[in-house]
Amino acid sequence: MSRRRVHATIRASTQARAITHRDTIISFLTNRPIYTQRDLDPIIEQDELGVWQARFMLRFESSADADAVYAAIVSRINTNNQVASGSVVSWHDCTHEEAIPRPCVEQGVVVRP
């Protein structure tokens, strides 16, 4: 059974804004079961250019939960004026644990210009 994985990197102009984005992501995850094999819990960090960002990569037990988190982040990327250019979210169905794994192909990629 494949698990839907959602990836997001939300860039910010300050560390405080990156923390706000991370905390918002955590609130999106409330009551949505995460598949036990975690990839990257929501974190804040600076990229190689020193830009603050909130990132996560998680697989969900339910595709519906993954889709809800994805939609919430797409909305934030498209409407929140504190989200910096270059922020991105995408999803794919992971087949790593299936009898015949297939390559993962990112879908639904949304990037803030």
Give, for 59, the enclosing helix (H) or strand (E). strand 52-60
| Domain count across the chain | 1
Of the pLDDT bands very low, low, confident and very high (cuts 50, 70, 90), residue 59 is confident
Residue-number span of the structural domain to which 69 is assigned: 3-111
pLDDT of 53 strictly over 90: yes
* Model confidence pLDDT, tens digit, residues 31-45: 888 776 667 788 899
pLDDT > 70: percent of the chain: 96
CATH number at residue 23: 3.30.70.260
Quote the pLDDT of residue 2: 65
Q: Provide the whole-model pTM.
A: 0.81
* Length, in residues, of the chain: 113
Please choose, from the candidates 4, 1, 24, 12, the residue with its C-alpha nearest in 3D space to the C-alpha of residue 87: 12
Quote the pLDDT of residue 38: 64
Of the pLDDT bands very low, low, confident and very high (cuts 50, 70, 90), residue 100 is confident
Q: Do residues 39 and 55 touch, judged by C-beta distance below 8 A?
A: no
Residue 71 phi, psi (nearest 5)? -60, -40
* HSE-CB of 25 using CA atoms within 13 angstroms: 30
Quote the pLDDT of residue 1: 58
Q: Do residues 45 and 53 touch, judged by C-beta distance below 8 A?
A: yes
* Residue whose token pair is 């819990």: 41
- Backbone dihedral region of 76: left (phi > 0), alpha (psi from -120 to 50 degrees) or beta? alpha
Q: What is the Cα 77 distance to its own chain's centre? A: 11
